[in-house]
Amino acid sequence: MAEEAPRAEETPSRNAQRDAVARVREASSFAVQLPILGRVPVPRPEQLAFFAAIGLLAAVEIIEWPVALTIAAGHILIADQHNRAVQEIGEVLESV
């Protein structure tokens, strides 16, 4: 009797890939559980450093507050777009 080859979703490498994707998704977002507000997302440390630097530049009046807010908003939008692109790539790789 010939042994059947395992289906794609049952292979160990497929399961390892799914586990890796899940760990990356979990690590890319951090959140703090607050009593009244519930789960509040916290930016990654490198993003916090960027926002702190922009805030410091605005606080010492090297740049104006509207400029600092515009830069921060642009940074958030770019990071969000990057995260969506990475997620779509991961979904495509998952389906292969």
Query: What region does 38 belong to: left with phi over 0, alpha with psi -120 to 50, or beta?
Result: left
Residue 75 lies in a domain: yes
Q: How many domains does the chain have?
A: 1
More confident position, 24 or 37: 37
Q: Residue 8 pLDDT > 80, yes or no?
A: no
**Domain-located, residue 1:** no
Tens of pLDDT, residues 42-84: 777 788 899 999 999 999 999 999 999 999 888 887 876 666 6
Tell me, what's the pLDDT at 82?
61
Write phi, then psi, for 2 (nearest 5 degrees): -80, 140
The mean pLDDT value for 76-94 works out to 71
Report yes or no on 3 lying in a domain: no
Instruction: Read off the tokens for 54.
Output: 């922009």
Whether 21 has a pLDDT exceeding 50, the answer reads yes
Q: Is 5 contained in some domain?
A: no
pLDDT of residue 91: 73
Phi, psi of 40 (to 5 degrees): -115, 120
Is the entire prediction scored with pTM above 0.75? Answer: no
